[in-house]
Amino acid sequence: MRKTAILIFIIFCSCSRHADPYFEQIKSNDVKLAAPVYGDWLFSRKEKGQTFEQYQKSKHIVPTKDSNIIYLRPIGNFNVLQKRQIELLNEYLEIYFQLKTKTLEAVSNDIVPASARRMLYEDHEQFLAGYLLDSVLKKEKPLNRIALMGVTEVDLFPKPEWNYVFGLASYRDKVGVSSIYRFQDGELTSENFNRCLSRLLKISSHEIGHMFGLHHCINADCVMNGTNSMEETDRHSIRLCSVCQQKLSSCIKYDNKKRVKELEKYFLRNNLTDGYKLMEKDINVIQ
């Protein structure tokens, strides 16, 4: 009995010495979610959330030597500014998930047949998001793929009775597609470039986060919060809260300090002020 108690004590002390204080330190920067109002995601949805312990017990993908690259597949005819958005998205995801991220060659909109297109109104064509998932993205098997995100400049719809959707994903198959059409408020310009980019970074990291097993967050203001509209997406943080960061870190096993410092530099050089300030606050409490 005495030997058992000593062994438990040794194990406890060993675990305590190796516990990462990072998450407790940045927890002070978590912002409590405001009470949802009519139209918000949580106003009509009573989600249970997901604790760190529940995440650890869940089944989710884990990077291996044969499955460790995130891929982007541009679909459409992109102008110079839109191509730059995809370049910056690639750079961001590689820092955010601390995994190699590659952009595949763009494919033409011609891959979408007439049966998967519709005109919402005059001169406003949309693609059926499910077709891009099932008939295009799910069939792609690039080397060492762990997740694949399609990006299109054409508006998307999920089913006939819906007007539009920002994107769609199959978490089981680890593929998703997102459209930048709604992010750019009609037309992408130098004036709205950063607003569009921020939205693209939020939506893409949110959807790929789901692929790694993260549920919608109800713990704090977090990029994993569910959203019903572009307005709500704009209000929510681009930052992962401390609990969601702990989940992702336990899965991918990266250096948390290295990640947050690289994110800070990314936001600074791309003039994304809100993101920069959030990372700066986290860095200040871990130093």
- The SS3 call for residue 101 is strand
CA distances from 158 to 111, 211, 214 (A): 18, 19, 23
DSSP, collapsed to helix, strand or coil, labels residue 192 as coil
Q: Starting at the earlier edge strand, list the strands of the sheet with 167-170.
A: 100-103, 69-75, 145-152, 175-179, 167-170
Tokens for 89?
């998205």
From the list 115, 48, 72, the residue with the least C-alpha distance to 201 is 72
**Alpha-helix residue ranges (DSSP H) falling in 186-255:** 193-211, 230-235, 242-252
The residues carrying an active-site annotation are 207
Scan for tokens 């191509």, then name that residue.
83
Separation between Cα atoms, residue 240 and residue 55, nearest integer Å: 15
Q: Please give the Cα distance from 232 to 40 (Å, whole number).
A: 7
For helices 273-286 and 256-269, the axis angle rounded to 10 degrees is 150
Residues 6+ apart with CB under 8 A from 46: none
Residue identified by tokens 């650890």 is 56
Spatial neighbors of 256 by CB under 8 A, at least 6 apart, are 20, 22, 23, 245, 249
Short-list 236, 240, 281, CA closest to 261: 281
**Which pair of structure tokens corresponds to residue 132?**
């891009």
